[in-house]
Amino acid sequence: MNFVSDGAMLKCMFGAAPATLVVLPTSLVNIGGNQMATIMDFEPLLNIGSFEMCSSVSNPTVNAATAAANGVLQPMPCIPATSSPWTPGEPTVLVGKLPALTKDCICMCNWAGMIQITDSGVHK
């Protein structure tokens, strides 16, 4: 298993830059010296940081700015809109009664972006 911890690096298919996963010290389970992540570490701006700029026209601010620019894509500041846990997780490994987050998990943004883990944050 390739488990994920605090400090993991994330990318969104519509984001302009990587973001960092923040895992709060609630379970007291560490891996590689960092707090181990669960599928519930998906809260926007608390767990999942900004990807700087968003280019998804499903995002209302990008859509409005693009419409105002006569259809020329206008990326706007990213505020992640995640509303459901990472999937699939690892149900056989529990961290504080929650499935562990693994590097192959994804999290969907409400603005059609798929968020992936590019670096697990676990360094030995």
Domain membership of residue 96 (yes or no) is yes
Per-residue pLDDT tens digits for 31-76: 888 999 999 999 999 999 999 999 999 999 999 999 999 999 999 9
Domain membership of residue 124 (yes or no) is no
Between CA 112 and CA 115 the distance in angstroms is 10
Domain membership of residue 91 (yes or no) is yes
Residue pair 35/44 in contact (Cβ under 8 Å)? The answer is: no
Domain membership of residue 99 (yes or no) is yes
Q: Given this model, what pLDDT does residue 32 score?
A: 83
Tokens 């149900």 belong to 91
Domains contained in the chain, number:
1
DSSP state letter for 90: E
Q: Give the mean model confidence (pLDDT) for residues 1-13.
A: 94
Q: Given this model, what pLDDT does residue 1 score?
A: 67
Domain membership of residue 3 (yes or no) is no
Per-residue pLDDT tens digits for 68-124: 999 999 999 999 999 999 999 999 999 999 999 999 999 999 999 999 999 999 976
Q: What are phi and psi of 68, to 5 degrees?
A: -65, -25
User: What range does the domain containing 43 cover?
Assistant: 9-119
Q: Given this model, what pLDDT does residue 123 score?
A: 79
